[in-house]
Amino acid sequence: MKEKKSLCPCTEVPVSGTASEMCVGRVWLFESLEPPELQALIGAAVRKVHAPGHAIFVQADPTDRMFLIKAGRVRLSKLLEDGTEFTLDIRKAGDFLGENMLGEEAVYPVTAWCMEETLTCGFTKERFEKLVLDHPRIGLQVMRNLSRRISSLSNRIESMSLTHLGERLYQVLRNMALEHGVKSPDGLLIQFPLTHEDLAFLVGAHRVSVTRALKELKRTGSVVQQKRRLVVRNE
């Protein structure tokens, strides 16, 4: 697997090798676990390389696995009943996929598409539940970490709802550029195209309103269009 330079030790070993304790321990879901618990997690993880365009899981598939992204980028999309597909989120190295496995949902609510070659560490539901039974503190700490994550996301949503749509859209694009962008002469270039429908889902607004807000951001120079990609300038 050809990898970009990374601080993640997991990308420096063959796919058939084991994950790194330091690497797994830095993931928000497994923060504050003790070394024996991290070793148990590493022993249960299955590493795999996914080709660009591959679906790690598909909407309505049984939620039988969750995945830690070690390298690459993944797009989460939602398919509606009328056949329309929307992008809900973009996940990068260090993020999780399939956290629904920890809840009561029987199927994945979205599809996870690899935007580039992606390395994951996966945990099956059966093996993870056995881990929690053998190491109860793993389950307790994961619950605490999930609670903190939900609280943080709730605060972010609340703050977004109080801002003007143009400001909200700019913040979404800026966060996207900080996570998935590269430096360009004009600012941070988001490395993949985003449709107006994608942006409407990401900011929670109607597509027509998002189109107007994006046009205004371009007019003021906050955002620059380069072919099908957007460049976000500093505030």
Copy the structure tokens of residue 15: 């796919």
Single out the residue in 136, 159, 182 at which a domain terminates. Answer: 159
Rounded to whole angstroms, the Cα distance separating 14 from 146 reads 30
If asked whether residues 130 and 14 sit together in one domain, one would say: yes
If asked whether residues 108 and 184 sit together in one domain, one would say: no
pLDDT at 103: 79
Residue 2 placed within a domain: no
Residue 1 placed within a domain: no
If asked whether residues 16 and 114 sit together in one domain, one would say: yes
Residue 67 placed within a domain: yes
List the domain range (segments joined by +) for residue 102. 9-159
pLDDT 10s per residue in the chain (235 long)?
443 433 344 545 444 444 555 566 667 788 888 889 988 988 888 889 999 999 999 999 999 999 999 889 999 999 888 888 888 888 888 888 998 888 777 899 999 999 999 999 899 999 999 999 999 999 898 888 888 877 766 666 665 565 688 988 998 899 889 888 899 988 999 988 888 888 888 888 888 999 999 999 999 999 999 988 999 997 6
If asked whether residues 137 and 55 sit together in one domain, one would say: yes
In CATH, what number is assigned to the domain containing residue 107?
2.60.120.10
Rounded to whole angstroms, the Cα distance separating 112 from 99 reads 12
Single out the residue in 131, 159, 187 at which a domain terminates. Answer: 159
- Cα distances from 217 to residues 159, 172, 202, in angstroms, run 20, 12, 16
If asked whether residues 111 and 208 sit together in one domain, one would say: no
If asked whether residues 148 and 46 sit together in one domain, one would say: yes
pLDDT at 22: 55
Q: What is the DSSP string of 128-195?
A: HHHHHHH-HHHHHHHHHHHHHHHHHHHHHHHHHHTS-HHHHHHHHHHHHHHHHEEEETTEEEESS---
If asked whether residues 136 and 184 sit together in one domain, one would say: no
Half-sphere exposure of 159 (CA within 13 A, CB side): 9
pLDDT at 211: 94
pLDDT at 142: 87
If asked whether residues 186 and 119 sit together in one domain, one would say: no
Residue 186 placed within a domain: yes
Residue 4 placed within a domain: no
If asked whether residues 204 and 97 sit together in one domain, one would say: no
pLDDT at 157: 63
Q: Which class for 112: exposed (0-12), middle (13-18), buried (19 or more C-beta within 10 A)?
A: buried
pLDDT at 146: 81
If asked whether residues 78 and 147 sit together in one domain, one would say: yes
pLDDT at 161: 62
Under DSSP, the state recorded for 65 is E
Single out the residue in 124, 159, 194 at which a domain terminates. Answer: 159
Q: Which residue in 33, 27, 39, 43 sits closest to 136, CA to CA?
A: 33
If asked whether residues 123 and 201 sit together in one domain, one would say: no
If asked whether residues 55 and 149 sit together in one domain, one would say: yes
Give the total number of structural domains in the chain: 2
In CATH, what number is assigned to the domain containing residue 227?
1.10.10.10
